[in-house]
């Protein structure tokens, strides 16, 4: 079975959880020999792991007929695709895309990020999809997240193959309810046109059904998973010289992640419990506000900000923590608690996050229930046996949450859509 996937980011160059999730899922699916996956990315860097899939660079696919000389062509392609592939793609141009600004080889320059002209990039990506889908015979089309829905729909309309879209988040999660109509429109269009929709949690599934008015029968939940930690990360030593217990918030400091509830809970705990420090790791538009809040509460001597952490720093922070908290107001899934559990850190998650649906060895609280959160923090930092229990059992639990199982479920969805069973 040949699957054509549209994605936006892919490790090692990732901006958010989408890249990690796409990678894990495709790797999990590639365990099956009869699955052949081709992934279109706006701007791959060339250092992606291509051992289990084929990556097509959208910024090298011609969408306007050009006849560059071979030297220019070779330089422009940078080895991302071969010249044969280039000519093959060029033969598949069936539409007039000249209204789109292209370069010397007739391809579009993508930023591969989330720039201000995102809508334009989405449109250009759609044009690329029109070329790619004609270049080979695919059995099924799979779009990851709303940026690629239009591309998926385009491919479906041209080839007539079934479309599966993968909802990693909706605009209701990102905006705490103040939905951007344009984004909603794209999401709704994609969902309406899709033959089947995969959501990362039942919570997201409910949003898709209730807010986007989609028939429940065509929405299936496939929970995300985690990739096992590499030896390099396992070898990182905890680094805590303060002698205090460290309670960590790690993620973008934005409205969606509920940082203010963390600060408020910290204040409650610090009133009564000595020997605890709180760390807010990450950057975001709410950071200044949080610094103000912590100062207003007079807890800055025990409340620390680290700024944005990257790569190994994230795991160093996790490993040095005695407790990890994700108080997200709305989290479609949330892989980071699973990573904390992999590092053997007791974890508190909000009931409003999708991962709470599959985790049982964590403490779950409502994001707004500061009393409950403070109580749980107090209990874990003062009771070693409890912390140890969550640490050991949590690790055991998360080690059983594997992408292979998620991959199997996605393949089941494929078979169902294709009418194989």
Partner 1 sequence: MKSICLYFQIHQPFRLKRYRFFNIGADHHYFDDANNEAIIKRIAKNSYIPANNAMLQMIKESNGEFKVAYSISGLALEQLEHYCPEVIDSFKKLAKTGCVEFLAETYAHSFASLRKENKEFEKQVEAHSKKIESLFGQKPTVFRNSELLFCDDIVDRVANMGFAGMLAEGAPQILDWKSPNYVYCSTANQRVKLLLKNCGMSDDIAYRFSDWGWREFPLTADKFANWIMNNPDEQVVNLFMNYEVLGEIQNANTGIFDFFKALPNAAKNRGIRFATPSEVINNNMPTGQISVPHPTTWANATKDLSPWLANTIQNEAFNKLYALTDKVNRCSDKQIIDDWYKLQSTDHLYYMSTSFYNQSFCPYDSPYDAFINYMNVLSDFNKRVDSFFTADISEEELNSLVKEKLALEAELAALKSGKKVSKTETKSETTKKATKETKKVVEEKKVAKETEAKKKTKKTNSK
Residues making contact with partner 1 (CB under 8 A): 268, 271-273, 360-361, 363-364, 371-372, 374-376, 378-379, 383, 385-386, 388-390, 392-393
Least Å from the CB of residue 339 to partner 1:
20
Instruction: Please name the residues in contact with 116: beta carbons below 8 A apart, sequence gap of 6 or more.
Output: none
- Which is nearer to partner 1, 338 or 377 (by Cβ)? 377
- Which is nearer to partner 1, 192 or 397 (by Cβ)? 397
- Which is nearer to partner 1, 140 or 390 (by Cβ)? 390
- Which is nearer to partner 1, 53 or 270 (by Cβ)? 270
Least Å from the CB of residue 396 to partner 1:
12
- Euclidean distance between the first and final Cα of the chain, in Å? 14
Least Å from the CB of residue 347 to partner 1:
11
Q: Which of 36, 87, 38, 37 is nearest to 60 (CA)?
A: 87
- Which is nearer to partner 1, 157 or 379 (by Cβ)? 379
Least Å from the CB of residue 382 to partner 1:
8
Instruction: Please name the residues in contact with 365: beta carbons below 8 A apart, sequence gap of 6 or more.
Output: 327, 348, 350, 351, 372, 373, 376
Least Å from the CB of residue 251 to partner 1:
22
- Which is nearer to partner 1, 271 or 312 (by Cβ)? 271
Least Å from the CB of residue 45 to partner 1:
43
- Which is nearer to partner 1, 175 or 268 (by Cβ)? 268
- Tokens 């429940």: give the residue: 216
Nearest-angstrom CA–CA distance, 308 and 288: 13
Least Å from the CB of residue 125 to partner 1:
44
- Tokens 């944005």: give the residue: 308
Nearest-angstrom CA–CA distance, 130 and 122: 13
For residue 368, the tally of other CB atoms under 10 A from its CB is 15
Least Å from the CB of residue 399 to partner 1:
17
Least Å from the CB of residue 375 to partner 1:
5
**What is the distance, to the nearest Å, from the Cα of residue 80 to the centroid of all Cα atoms in its chain?**
24
- Which is nearer to partner 1, 55 or 390 (by Cβ)? 390
- Which is nearer to partner 1, 215 or 371 (by Cβ)? 371
Q: Are 139 and 161 in contact (CB under 8 A)?
A: yes
Nearest-angstrom CA–CA distance, 107 and 186: 24
- Which is nearer to partner 1, 206 or 397 (by Cβ)? 397
Least Å from the CB of residue 394 to partner 1:
11
Report how far apart, in Å, the C-alpha atoms of 156 and of each of 163, 218, 266, 286, 389 are. Answer: 6, 17, 50, 40, 50
């Amino acid at each position: 079975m040949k699957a054509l996937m549209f994605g936006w980011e892919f490790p090692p160059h990732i901006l958010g959880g989408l890249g990690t999730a796409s990678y894990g899922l495709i790797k999990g699916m590639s365990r099956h020999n009869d699955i052949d996956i081709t992934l279109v990315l706006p701007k791959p860097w060339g250092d992606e792991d291509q051992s289990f899939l084929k990556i097509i660079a959208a910024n090298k696919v011609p969408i306007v007929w050009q006849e560059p000389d071979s030297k220019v062509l070779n330089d422009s392609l940078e080895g991302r695709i071969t010249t044969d592939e280039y000519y093959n793609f060029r033969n598949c141009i069936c539409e007039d895309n000249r209204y789109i600004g292209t370069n010397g080889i007739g391809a579009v320059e993508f930023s591969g990020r989330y720039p201000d002209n995102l809508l334009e990039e989405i449109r250009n990506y759609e044009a690329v999809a029109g070329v790619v889908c004609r270049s080979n015979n695919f059995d099924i089309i799979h779009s990851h997240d709303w940026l690629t829905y239009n591309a998926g729909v385009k491919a479906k309309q041209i080839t007539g193959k079934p479309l599966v879209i993968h909802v990693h988040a909706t605009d209701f999660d990102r905006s705490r309810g103040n939905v951007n109509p344009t984004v909603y429109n794209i999401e709704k269009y994609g969902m309406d046109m899709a033959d089947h929709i995969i959501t990362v949690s039942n919570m997201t599934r409910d949003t898709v059904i209730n807010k986007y008015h989609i028939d429940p029968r065509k929405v299936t939940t496939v929970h995300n998973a985690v990739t096992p930690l590499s030896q390099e990360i396992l070898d990182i030593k905890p680094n805590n010289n303060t002698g205090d217990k460290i309670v960590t918030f790690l993620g973008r400091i934005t409205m969606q992640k509920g940082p203010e509830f963390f600060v408020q809970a910290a204040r409650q705990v610090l009133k009564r419990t000595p020997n605890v420090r709180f760390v807010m790791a990450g950057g975001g538009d709410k950071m200044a506000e949080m610094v103000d809040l912590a100062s207003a509460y007079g807890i800055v001597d025990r409340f620390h900000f680290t700024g944005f952490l990257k790569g190994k720093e994230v795991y160093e922070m996790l490993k040095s923590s005695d407790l990890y908290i994700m108080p997200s107001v709305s989290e479609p899934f949330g892989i980071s608690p699973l990573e904390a559990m992999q590092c053997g850190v007791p974890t508190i998650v909000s009931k409003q996050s999708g991962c709470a649906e599959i985790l049982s060895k964590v403490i779950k609280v409502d994001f707004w229930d500061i009393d409950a959160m403070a109580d749980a923090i107090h209990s874990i930092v003062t009771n070693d046996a409890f912390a140890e229990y969550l640490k050991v059992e949590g690790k055991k639990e998360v080690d059983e949450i594997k992408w292979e199982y998620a991959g199997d479920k996605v393949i089941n969805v494929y078979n169902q859509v294709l009418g194989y069973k």
